Structure 1
Amino acid sequence: MWLVEDCPVLSGIYNAIPYYMCFLLSLLIFLSPIDPTRAAQDFTAYRLAQYDIQGSITGSRTAALSCDIQIVSTRTYARRCPIVKLAEITVEGIKNAIFNNAGGIIVLLPSDNWTDELRSHWHYLETELKSEEFQIPVYFAIENEYSKSIYDDLQNMSHDLDQSAGSGIWDAIFSTGYRVYINTPPSVPLKNAELVSIEGKILSNSFDIKKPTVLVTAYYDAGGVIPALAYGADANAGGVAVLLEVARIIGQLTDAKNSPKYNIIFLLTSGGKFNFLGSRRWLEMNLEDTAGLAILDSVVQVICLEGLGANFDDHLRLHVSRMPRDGSFSQKLVSTLELAAKLHPLSDSYLKRPLDNETQIEVVHKKINVNQYDLAWEHERFSLYRLPTATFSAWPTPSIYKYRQSVLDGGPLSGRAAPSRGYWGPVKPEILARNTRVLAETLARLLFDFAPDSPSAEAFSIIDPSWVTATSSAAILDFLTMHPRSLQLLAASTQTSSTAASSNGLDLIRSLEQHMRSILPEVKLLRHPLSRPAAASAAGARAGSDSVDKAGTDAGEDVTISTSSQVPSMAAAAKEVEITLYSGVAPQVVTVYRLKSSIFDLVIACSIGAYLYCLYFCLERFHLLVRLVAHLTNNSGKKLKAY
């Protein structure tokens, strides 16, 4: 290297190499087409539900995701994640992606502007997804500005690649792509999952089991194929809001001097979207001890609440499994409901047509098909245990509201009303408050034995309209619909968990308990196992089967028994069914990296290797380079000092 020291020009070049390298790297970073602030972006995604029912596997079986993303095209999906819009996705498309070894699927859901056609498509897709199993992670994301730009970039890239073979290869090397990454632990079964019920009683000095008992119940969980987007506005936040408001009013009317003639129990249950499993566990719990049996024996009416937040056709309905007998409490309930509906009419702004003198209460009779596992109404669960029951609802049929188990029943996809903090969906607080007044008026007249024959009975109402207003109903509705309430999240919240969604589920249960304690004198938090042990399950199934067999004789309940060759050994509706829920359905943070393709990385690696080899060769053979420079210099007529 002595020649470099004696030659100022070569010495300058040699000393400038490190600075040149730093400048070159900085220049490359500065001229890079990728904005460092946009190289990685985050947004929220919601995983498809995962659960097992009686060995039937449903939903997405994996949660972690790390692969390149592309739009739906004719190109292969191998180890890639297709990102598709809702209008483009079908169950067959998902199965085709799985067949082509896709790493996962992300479906973009519209943030607004849900057309009737798109709603129908989603309803059909949601129904199909409930009966399918997918071995890859399936996520849903609500469209935002960033996800739209990613989709548009991928669409343009796909169009350029399809133009021609030559340019396609060039674009495949130098184009910018995206890689999605979801860091979440594997989904595992929720062991010892629990169903939590909240039971409140109104006492007159003490709860007298000799008195007849009225049970008012509603389930508080929500359903949908995306657990983290299941908010359940009309099914069943509206029912829970009515129950809480009625409990508050009846509790305020009760004191030592004004005790009701009936015991009254207010019951909030979970598992409503899994065939009213919470109600079943509460019944089984009471069948296991003497005090519980005494309470069940004293029940003269069970009133289930659901679908009370919207007006379908200006009528309210009492759905029953058997028509009320003359002189029974159920018959008094119907007649008192008719009077209460007249005393608290629906506002003209919400009426669909003039009612004149037409009755606003309709009794709907539907038989129970005990050989069908899924029950239509919650009151049918109590009917199987020979209790006189009914469901108070605005729905004409259980299937009239097609979003009953859909994520479109409230939640971010249905939008948020202007004055609300929660997601009300189709629920109107004014209608909810009116229906609450109707039920509160009915129960007040029946529980306190208000003389129906007095001259003022039909002229004046017991419940003042100011006691239940749209504002008070909206406040409870906001509380119930601010966070998702799927059973998977609620069950996970009862176990040790640090996720925000699980914390919200636990906070919901605690807040409901505290609210009921503030309005009722005696409140209990009851925990039931999601799945019972084999021996207990068999005993419970036999008890349910026996109750079904006696339903038509002892209580006169109407049931439908199929005689087909597929009749099970015991009533399907009463049979114990094993349910397994899984973790990992809480909202996940999706990180999308903007980067070059893998081919580009290979080309760059080869180029850097060649550059470093050339640099190494030049430094190792620097004396040859000096001779070459000297030779060229001498040829130009200049003299170079000989060494």
Structure 2
Amino acid sequence: MFEEASEVFENMFKASFPLSFIVLLPAVLFLVSPLPAEAAHEFTVYRMQQYDLQGQAYGTRSSVLNTEARTVEADVLSRRCVIMRLLDFSYEKYQKALRQSAGAVVIILPQNMSTMPQDIVQQFMEIEPELLATETIVPVYFALEEEELLSIYEQTLTSSSSQGLASAAEVLLHTATANGFQMVTSGAQSKAVSDWAITSLEGRLAGVGGEDLPTIVLVAHYDSFGVAPWLSYGADSNGSGVSVLLELARLFSRLYTYKRTHAAYNLLFFVSGGGKFNYQGTKRWLEDNLDHTDSSLLQDNVAFVLCLDTLGSSDSLHLHVSKPPKEGSPQHTLLKELETVSSSQYPEVKFSMVHKKINLADDTLAWEHERFGIRRLPAFTLSHLESHRSAARSSIMDVRSVPGKGTQVDVQTLSRNTKIIAEALARVIYNLTGKGAPEDLQIFTEQMQVQEEQLSSVLDWLTSQPRAAQLVDKESPVVGTLEYYLSRYLKDVKRHYVKADKRDPEFVFYDQLKQVMNAYRVKPAIFDLLLALCIAVYLGVMYLAIQNFGLLYSVVRKVTQPKAKQH
């Protein structure tokens, strides 16, 4: 069949060159045209935070994206998807895209945050609160670097950078030949999530020697926060605090197992949810225990509440208080014991007390202990951060990283801080200073020492998954594993749930936080215009050739006919 077809085309070509030209040229153009290989790429994107807190909207308000890609260097960004790499990102460029009515913004992050230069990490951490401070209408997404996505970025950058070309003709040619990409998300428009439950956990160790015993409460919130929920791993804030609390539960459960070391203090451990959303889990827990029940350890003699937050790095420890403790009170005793243990056993640690009054006019509380302070319970927060405004508390850069790169959690530092807290608590519980015990006395040694490997494994597990409050429901493995861990060492482990009020919700979460984005290869509109013009010219030439076929044929025959041999 192919041989017969080739003979037909050969005879046609020999007999009529113009006809063969008309037929074969489009066929050749069709056959040599580029195949639609690699015309589309698919990758995962993570949307910026969207939530309401105390009636105030935060983050991006949209999730639907179907626009052509541009980089911030382009002259026109209106209704375009602006792609930026973190290395080139700045708040000014982000604002430029929004001012020019960009259709969306996609920020490309490195696969490993710890590889980023420290100055870029610090700069982005400081920008994150500003990105969330105001409501953003256009969708804002984050994507992790991969080869195909970087290729799309480079090609888009090339097509966006036509300002330096010399002439209008070059600009036109550059625009027509450059590759473009249509960025499309697969998900629907985001909507509020109804009946979302924030889960908190409680467990206790009962003291010995009577019913009316003082209670020490140890608290740490487990949820993380950052500009994108699915990228929020919260290594230092507050994976470190939860790791310390769990290790303290293990250590004191062993002490409370033996009669000789069973102290006359109740220990109450509380792992709270919704900490990054104005401590919603703690607020509801306090309401349940103080307002709606007759039997609660919080209604008895509370010695103090110690909240643990960001303890995984630095040689500083700060005890944040809303009201300086009175001399002779259990709170003052703990303060002095922390100073004693730090100075005598770990002289490299700089310990201090930071006093800050509760500002009820602020939209959110500074530290978790302020929730207890509002209910007139003596409380404070222990942290290596001197200020609650530190960007490290709410950043996607808060990851387990190599030394010198980004926010790091050093396990040895975490173990040391756990030892300081455990020793200070033990000195308070057993009144060791009043009994004349030396300042350098250590209780948690040998078989009772802090297990650095266990601290590391708990922290590895916590930071292996994002723990944003919008992602951790009551069926989450995070909650289940924490409950199992507490049940190994504590009694009466319970769950507490928080749901937003339907009439006047204090918090509202939204879905569509993780989506699949497709990048389709497209040509710009000018390409279609030039292609239509070329087709029109071609058809015009073909029309004239057919109308004057006789004349054209005679000219071609005269040109192609071999000259007669002269004798």
Q: Deviations over 1:6-25 (max 9, x none)?
A: 999359999x99x9799747
Aligned to 2:245: 243
In the TM superposition, what is the alpha-carbon distance from 1:137 to its structure 2 partner? 1.0
Partner of 1:574: none
Give the letter aligned to residue 518 of structure 2.
T
- Which residue of 2 is the match for residue 579 of structure 1? 507
Displacement of 1:533 after TM fit?
Answer: 5.5
The answer as to whether partners of 1:312 and 1:395 remain within 8 angstroms in 2 is no
> Residue 336 of structure 1 aligns with which residue?
337
SS in 1 for 2:391: coil
* Structure 1 residues without counterparts, runs of 5 or longer: 496-505, 538-576, 639-643
Q: Which residue is 1:273 aligned to?
A: 276
- Alignment-derived partner of residue 138 in structure 1: 140
Q: Which amino acid aligns with 2:327?
A: D
User: SS of 1:489's equivalent?
Assistant: coil
- Aligned-partner SS, 1:476: helix
Among 526, 533, 543, the alignment partner of 1:599 is 526
**1:603-628 Cα deviation digits (max 9, x unpaired):** 4467668879999999xx99x97999
Could you tell me which of 191, 213, 216 is aligned with 1:211?
Answer: 213
Matching residue of 2:565: none
Cα distance in 1, alignment partners of residues 378 and 558 from structure 2:
115
TM-aligned CA deviation for residue 344 of structure 1? 4.5
SS at match of 2:511: coil
- The 2-side partners of 1:6 and 1:462 are apart by 100
What is aligned with 1:227? 229
- Offset from partner CA, 1:42-80 (integer Å, 9 cap, x none): 444322211223333222111121221112235222332
Q: 1:9–1:458: structure 2 CA closer, same or farther, 3 Å change rule?
A: closer
Q: CA deviation at 1:202?
A: 1.6
CA distance in 2, matches of 1:518, 1:50: 37
Alignment of 1:246-265 (within 5 A): 246-255=248-257, 257=259, 258-265=261-268
Q: What's 2:186 paired with?
A: 183
TM-score (norm 2): 0.83
> Does 2:300 correspond to 1:310?
no
C-alpha distance in structure 1 between counterparts of 2:43 and 2:502, whole Å: 42
Q: Deviations over 1:427-465 (max 9, x none)?
A: 210011111122222333444x36545566545422116
- Looking at structure 1, the residues matched to 14 and 169 of structure 2 have their Cα atoms a distance apart, in angstroms, of 44
- Relative to 1, partners in 2 of residues 1:637 and 1:90: Cα closer, same or farther, differing over 3 Å? closer
Structure 1 equivalent of residue 154 of structure 2: 152
Inter-partner Cα distance in structure 1 for 2:543 and 2:253: 89
Pairwise CA distance, 1:331: 2.5
Q: How much has 1:283 moved relative to structure 2?
A: 0.5
Letter in 2 for 1:242: V
Q: Specify which of 285, 293, 296 is matched with residue 282 of structure 1.
A: 285
- Structure-to-structure mapping, 1:343-354, within 5 angstroms: 344-345=345-346, 351=348
**Compared with structure 1, are the counterparts of its residues 204 and 68 closer, same or farther at alpha carbon in structure 2 (3 Å cutoff)?**
same
Question: Which AA in structure 2 matches 1:437?
Answer: K
Q: Secondary structure at the match of 2:294?
A: helix
Shift of 1:243: 0.1
Mark the CA change 1:457 to 1:437 in structure 2 (over 3 Å): closer, same or farther: same
Selected match of 2:399 from 410, 425, 435: 410
In the alignment, does 2:443 pair up with 1:462? Answer: yes
CA distance in 1 between partners of 2:416 and 2:321 (Å): 22
Say if 1:636 and 1:285 are closer, same or farther in 2 by CA, change over 3 A: closer
Deviations 1:511-552 (A, max 9, x none): 1111111222321121111x2355xx8xxxxxxxxxxxxxxx
Q: Which of the numbers 495, 510, 513 marks the counterpart of 2:483?
A: 513
* Paired amino acid for 1:345: Y
Greater Cα offset, 280-289 or 77-86: 77-86
Q: Partners in 2 of 1:322 and 1:8 — Cα distance? A: 100
Change (3 A) 1:130 1:11: closer
Query: Aligned in 2, Cα 1:226/1:533: closer, same or farther, shift over 3 Å?
Result: closer
Q: Report SS of the residue matched to 1:308.
A: coil
Using the TM superposition, give the Cα deviation of residue 247 of structure 1 relative to its aligned residue in structure 2, in angstroms: 0.4
Preserved CA contact (<8 Å) 1:489 1:585: no
| Amino acid paired to 1:403 | A
Distance, in Å, in 2 between the alignment partners of 1:345 and 1:524 is: 36
SS in 1 for 2:467: coil
2:204 to 178, 197, 201: 201
Return closer, same or farther for 1:21/1:527 CA change in 2, 3 Å cut-off. Answer: farther
CA distance in 1 between partners of 2:302 and 2:197 (Å) = 26
What does residue 360 of structure 2 align with? 370
Task: Give the Å deviation of 1:99.
Answer: 4.7
Q: Which residue of 1 aligns with 2:131?
A: 129
Any residues of structure 2 matched to 1:79-94 within 5 Å, and which?
Answer: 79-86=79-86, 89=89, 93-94=93-94
Instruction: Please name the residue that 1:299 is paired with.
Output: 302
Q: Which residue of 438, 448, 469 corresponds with 1:487?
A: 469
Residue 28 (str. 1) matches residue 32 (str. 2): yes
Give the conservation status (yes or no) of the 8 Å contact 1:310–1:431: yes
Alignment of 1:380-419 (within 5 A): 380-399=370-389, 401-410=390-399, 415-416=401-402
Q: Distance in 2 between matches of 1:381 and 1:526?
A: 16
Q: 1:6 & 1:259 partners in 2: Cα distance?
A: 103
Q: Which residue of 1 aligns with 2:320?
A: 319
Give the direction of change, closer, same or farther, for the CA distance of 1:532–1:465 in structure 2 (3 Å limit): farther
Contact 2:121-2:406 at 8 Å conserved across structures: no
CA contact (8 A) 1:200 1:520 kept: yes
> Structure 2: which amino acid aligns with 1:514?
Y
Per the alignment, do residues 341 and 590 of structure 1 end up closer, same or farther by CA in structure 2, a change over 3 Å counting?
Answer: same
Residue by residue, what CA displacement relative to the aligned partner does 1:368-411 show, whole Å, maximum 9, x if unpaired? 23333332221111011011112122233334x43222222226
Deviations, residues 256-299 of structure 1 (Å, cap 9, x unaligned): 63533111111011222222222111101113333355633332
CA distance in 2, matches of 1:202, 1:92: 53
- What residue number does 2:104 align with? 104
Q: 1:336 is matched by which residue type in structure 2?
A: E
Post-superposition shift, 1:204? 5.7
* CA distance in 2 between partners of 1:402 and 1:136 (Å): 24
Is the contact between residue 345 and residue 440 of structure 2 (CA under 8 Å) also seen in structure 1? no
Percent identical residues: 32
In structure 2, the CA distance between the partners of 1:9 and 1:521, relative to structure 1 (3 Å rule), is: same
Matching of residues 413-432 of structure 1 within 5 Å: 415-416=401-402, 425-432=407-414
Q: Is the 8 A contact 2:307 2:380 kept in 1?
A: yes
Q: What is aligned with 1:549?
A: none
**CA displacement at 1:216 relative to structure 2:** 0.3
Q: Is this contact kept in 1: 2:392–2:407, CA < 8 A?
A: no
For residues 24 and 580 of structure 1, do their structure 2 counterparts lie closer, same or farther at Cα, with a shift above 3 Å needed? Answer: same
Runs of 4+ with >6 A deviation: 5-8, 11-14, 19-23, 608-618, 624-638
Q: Counterpart in 1 of 2:68?
A: 68
- Deviation of 1:468 after TM superposition, in Å, equals 1.6
1:132 CA drift (Å)? 1.4
Deviations 1:328-358 (A, max 9, x none): 2223322333444356436xxxx4xxx8xxx
Which among 492, 501, 517 is matched to residue 532 of structure 1? 501
| Shift in Å, 1:361 | 4.2
Partner of 1:471: 453
Q: Is the 8 A contact 1:343 1:461 kept in 2?
A: no
Tell me, in whole angstroms, the C-alpha distance in 2 between the residues paired with 1:431 and 1:243: 15
Matched residue type, 1:335: K
Aligned equivalents of 1:395, 1:288: Cα separation in 2: 33
Letter in 1 for 2:65: L
Shift of 1:136: 1.1
Contact 1:317/1:394 (8 A) holds in 2: yes
| TM-score, structure 1 as length reference | 0.74
Q: Cα–Cα, structure 1 residues 633 and 336, in superposed 2: closer, same or farther, change >3 Å?
A: closer
